[in-house]
Structure 1
Amino acid sequence: MVNLIAEKDYFQVEPTLNSGIDTNYAFVKPFDNYQSIQNIITKIEQEPNTRLFILARHGQGYHNAAVERYGEEIWDLKWAHKNGDGVLEDWNDANLTEKGINQVKRTGKVVFGEKMKGIWADSYYCSPLRRCLQTFRYEWTEKFNIEKKDQEDLKKTIDVIIKENIRETIGVHTCDWRQNKSKSYDECIKPYEDNTSDFQIKFDYEEGFKEEDPLYSDTYRETDDDIDARIEKALKEIWELEDKKEAENLEYRGKVISLTCHEGVIKSALRVLKHHPIPRLETSGVVMVIIKNTEI
């Protein structure tokens, strides 16, 4: 049985440059008892059934740029239902904008590279939407480049599971429709497969992943209850998979889990983990939560 509860305070590592939140907000509700991320990890390594989840939102996509251009109300009424406006790049399963790429590179440098120096996740999960696949590659490559400066002989391969159920709120908005698996693979994964550099990212689709989007509806958009049920299921599946990996390999240390996903997913995760909400998480923002399974 799995019953996941988050420790009461989250740790928003770095306010983003484009954030409308007061810059001090990132530290209003930190983990008050921990001086660093390493301090958090040292603590949870001593506690059974406890893990640190890194919840990273993607950078600005073309749909986010459209919201900025037209405003939230007009976006919801008109543009969210269309594939584009003839000015910006089409935003069905939106790609990152140039601004979004710069955002996630900065997150990779400042958050993962500097604040998490020497610390890598034990497992990595990613939404299948293109903006998340792109975000993952930029952020963790930037971290590797930072680490490489101090370890010239550093070589690293990380395996990433692409998980359908950690997608953004599904339905009606074309930006949240998923491109066919083969198309996103050809665009976001295949070009890097022959890469011979010292840093390798190996994306792997979860078992049963469909070629075409099985979840999207152009007439119905998920409610909070809908997405909460989906995200709770996804978190439990991830937890159980990590437990299985630990049982099969006694040397495996599944304590730090990375999810590259969406604002709606992160807000939903905090709800189902019985955690207080955050007002808004800007594009490329990162939140960390300590999660415990209380059903053991």
Structure 2
Amino acid sequence: MNKLIAEKDYFQVEPTLNSGIDTNYAFVKPFDKYKSIQEIISKIEDLPNTRLFILARHGQGYHNAAVERYGEDVWDAKWAFKNGDGVLEDWNDANLTSKGINQVKRTGKVVFGEKMKGLWPDSYYCSPLRRCLQTFRYEWTEKFNLEKIDDPNLKKTINVTIKENIRETIGVHTCDWRQNKSKSYDECIKPYENVKDDFQIKFNYEENFEEEDPLYSQDYRETDHDIDVRIERALNEIWELEDKKKSANPEYRDKVISLTCHEGVIKSALRVLKHDPIPRLETSGVVMVIITKL
């Protein structure tokens, strides 16, 4: 397995942006010696074995709303094991709430649209859980719509790989159980295919992706060590896949990689990459990390 490490001195902590939606965008502001994210990308262009990973957390799901409603202690002791509480929509493989949709639209506008104006990742990966599939669509559609204002002739097709191993901490909590592949496809992907002529998001399930959830257990929930092993493996799989694309096509650009995933995944990635920890990343928060393969 490759040894991947986070490089420091590129991004700093940025306080919550004041727009009325309580979302914390941590580690997306370049240090003062860099004028922009574009300047950082330009710096790493010629650095071997170095890439920018954009780690985006999903917006508020119905399970997150329940945690706010009951508090984390009561959630962990009771409600996390149930499918719902009858107050709002059930939270097994939770969908986004209306607040969550507003959050991720703002991320698409402020982070991807404004801070990354004119910049698009070279490759995209997404968790198969419904809140992430929905987050991906809202965020990148928002960016496209914003950039379309400046470039009316803009056309864009995004190919995104749905990857099982970048799911949230697995086991016990019903919000982290995955709906069947066909159900998620019918609800979150199919209705939005080929809707716009100028912008397409094409979701592609990774090879050997199973119809039913092969990982969830009602009796055992991953420890930090368990998820760290899984996420380190997933990061290496993504890295090696990007290397293969580059080897097959030397013209392929492989410097900026987008992952739409979960707080547990992002915190785990920061641990295995030896990055400074983030105590809490709010829903729809984004972390940008420069990673080098040693």
- Alignment TM-score > 0.5, same fold: yes
- Quote the residue 1:248 is aligned against: 248
User: Shift of the alpha carbon at 1:2?
Assistant: 1.6
> Can you give the 5+ residue segments of structure 1 that lack an aligned partner in the other structure?
none
**C-alpha distance after superposition, 1:110-137 (max 9, x if no partner):** 1100110000000000000000000000
For residues 287 and 150 of structure 1, the distance between their equivalents in structure 2, rounded to whole angstroms, comes to 27
User: Shift of the alpha carbon at 1:33?
Assistant: 3.4
- With over 3 angstroms needed to count, the CA separation of the structure-2 counterparts of 1:98 and 1:242, relative to structure 1, is same
- Quote the residue 2:60 is aligned against: 60
For residues 150 and 130 of structure 1, the distance between their equivalents in structure 2, rounded to whole angstroms, comes to 31
- Quote the residue 1:111 is aligned against: 111
- Quote the residue 1:172 is aligned against: 172
For residues 31 and 183 of structure 2, the distance between their equivalents in structure 1, rounded to whole angstroms, comes to 41
Query: Which residue identity does 1:34 align to in structure 2?
Result: Y
Contact 2:170 2:217 in 1 (8 A): yes
For residues 181 and 172 of structure 1, the distance between their equivalents in structure 2, rounded to whole angstroms, comes to 20
1:142 aligns with 2:142: yes
For residues 14 and 234 of structure 2, the distance between their equivalents in structure 1, rounded to whole angstroms, comes to 24
1:263 aligns with 2:267: no
- Quote the residue 1:15 is aligned against: 16
For residues 227 and 31 of structure 1, the distance between their equivalents in structure 2, rounded to whole angstroms, comes to 30
Contact 1:14 1:285 in 2 (8 A): no
For residues 78 and 29 of structure 1, the distance between their equivalents in structure 2, rounded to whole angstroms, comes to 38
For residues 231 and 187 of structure 1, the distance between their equivalents in structure 2, rounded to whole angstroms, comes to 27
Q: Percent identity?
A: 81
For residues 159 and 46 of structure 2, the distance between their equivalents in structure 1, rounded to whole angstroms, comes to 25
TM-score (norm 2): 0.95
1:277 aligns with 2:281: no
Query: Which residue identity does 1:57 align to in structure 2?
Result: R
- Quote the residue 2:39 is aligned against: 39
For residues 46 and 262 of structure 1, the distance between their equivalents in structure 2, rounded to whole angstroms, comes to 30
- Quote the residue 1:124 is aligned against: 124
For residues 152 and 4 of structure 1, the distance between their equivalents in structure 2, rounded to whole angstroms, comes to 40
User: Shift of the alpha carbon at 1:34?
Assistant: 2.0
For residues 157 and 194 of structure 2, the distance between their equivalents in structure 1, rounded to whole angstroms, comes to 13
For residues 283 and 74 of structure 1, the distance between their equivalents in structure 2, rounded to whole angstroms, comes to 20
1:188 aligns with 2:188: yes
User: Shift of the alpha carbon at 1:11?
Assistant: 4.6
For residues 260 and 12 of structure 1, the distance between their equivalents in structure 2, rounded to whole angstroms, comes to 20
Query: Which residue identity does 1:260 align to in structure 2?
Result: T
- With over 3 angstroms needed to count, the CA separation of the structure-2 counterparts of 1:97 and 1:255, relative to structure 1, is same
For residues 16 and 235 of structure 2, the distance between their equivalents in structure 1, rounded to whole angstroms, comes to 25
Shifted more, 33-42 versus 177-186: the winner is 33-42
For residues 261 and 42 of structure 2, the distance between their equivalents in structure 1, rounded to whole angstroms, comes to 26
> Can you give the 5+ residue segments of structure 2 that lack an aligned partner in the other structure?
none
SS of match in other structure, 2:102: helix
Shifted more, 239-248 versus 7-16: the winner is 7-16
- Quote the residue 2:155 is aligned against: 155
User: Shift of the alpha carbon at 1:196?
Assistant: 3.6
SS of match in other structure, 1:189: helix
SS of match in other structure, 1:53: strand
**C-alpha distance after superposition, 1:237-287 (max 9, x if no partner):** 000000000010111010000000000000000000011101110000000
Query: Which residue identity does 1:73 align to in structure 2?
Result: D
- Quote the residue 2:293 is aligned against: 293
- With over 3 angstroms needed to count, the CA separation of the structure-2 counterparts of 1:27 and 1:172, relative to structure 1, is closer
Query: Which residue identity does 2:263 align to in structure 1?
Result: E
For residues 255 and 196 of structure 2, the distance between their equivalents in structure 1, rounded to whole angstroms, comes to 29
For residues 175 and 220 of structure 2, the distance between their equivalents in structure 1, rounded to whole angstroms, comes to 14
Contact 1:55 1:259 in 2 (8 A): yes
1:198 aligns with 2:198: yes
SS of match in other structure, 1:233: helix
User: Shift of the alpha carbon at 1:30?
Assistant: 5.1
User: Shift of the alpha carbon at 1:190?
Assistant: 0.7
